[in-house]
Amino acid sequence: MAFGADELHVLRRSLAHALQSSTAPLTAVEVQDCLRLAASVDDAVQEAGRLRAFLLADLARYRAALPGSLSGYLELLQDALAAGYEPVPDDLAALRALRANPVAAALLERAQTVAERSVRRRLSTAPAPRTRLLTLAGGTDKENDPARPKPEPRPDDRPGRPIPTPGEVFPPRRKPSPPPEAGRAAG
């Protein structure tokens, strides 16, 4: 991810302000610059996600066309591993089938190491969700604003009567009554 000169200037000012011991609020211009920078970073992350999805689809296409696409697949997988890609079981199976090729055998060892490290990392830590930058004074987070009054619940939102119990909804079954005795003939 690369930043432009203006974005670096905003980032430098924001970091300097965050590190200062004073509690002076940011000016409106600084807040807007910070919010624009946060939006630019979010856009860059989304674009990187789209590019990654395209490259992974390309890798899957080459994997599906194996063994005819061997050189292209190995090249794409090497590039993907260098960019932080964690191989899926299909990648490992394809490399195992191609291990007669020396490049594929070396790539299999590397992919297995990366996959093992990935599994260990996932087992040892839980991922933290990414949050947006909304903690700036004067920011646009209207929902968490302490000065904003909380709406009171309206009395007509509550139900008029309590929720019925299962016994009210499904009354107990009654046992069938025995047939009347008077209708029997004595014999």
Q: For the chain, how long is the longest CA-to-CA vector?
A: 113
Of 139 and 53, more confident: 53
How high is the pLDDT of residue 135? 54
Burial 77-113 (b: 16+ CB within 10 A, else e): bbebbeeebebeeebeebbeebeeeeebeebbeebee
What's this model's pTM, rounded to 2 decimal places?
0.45
Q: What is the mean pLDDT of residues 10-26?
A: 71
Q: What pLDDT shows up at residue 168?
A: 75
pLDDT above 80 (res 64): yes
The residue among 64, 83, 82 whose CA lies nearest residue 73 is: 64
Q: Does position 90 have pLDDT exceeding 80, yes or no?
A: yes
CB 104 within 8 A of CB 74: yes
3-state helix, strand, coil in the chain (%, to 5): 55, 0, 45
Query: 37 or 134: whose pLDDT is higher?
Result: 37
- Please check whether residue 111 is in contact with residue 92, taking contact to mean a CB–CB distance below 8 angstroms: yes
Please name which of 83, 86, 77, 66 lies closest in space to residue 106, comparing C-alpha atoms.
77
For residue 138, pLDDT beyond 60: no
Averaged pLDDT, 4-10: 73
C-alpha distances out from residue 48 to 65, 78, 93, Å: 26, 19, 27
Phi, psi of 141 (to 5 degrees): -85, 90
The reported pLDDT for the residue numbered 1 is: 59
For residue 126, the model assigns a pLDDT of: 59
Please indicate whether residue 52 or residue 134 has the higher confidence score (pLDDT): 52
pLDDT tens, residue by residue, 117-127: 888 888 887 55
- pLDDT tens-digit profile of 99-116? 888 988 999 999 999 989
Q: How confident is the model at residue 85 (pLDDT cuts 50, 70, 90)?
A: confident
Q: How far apart are CA 40 and CA 38, in angstroms?
A: 5
- Going by pLDDT thresholds of 50, 70 and 90, the confidence category of residue 83 is confident
**Integer Rg of the chain from CA:** 33
- Given a cut of 70, whether residue 57 has pLDDT beyond it is yes
Residue 24 has pLDDT above 60, yes or no: yes
- Residue type at 18? A
Query: Which comes out higher in pLDDT, residue 4 or 134?
Result: 4
Q: What is the mean pLDDT of the chain?
A: 76
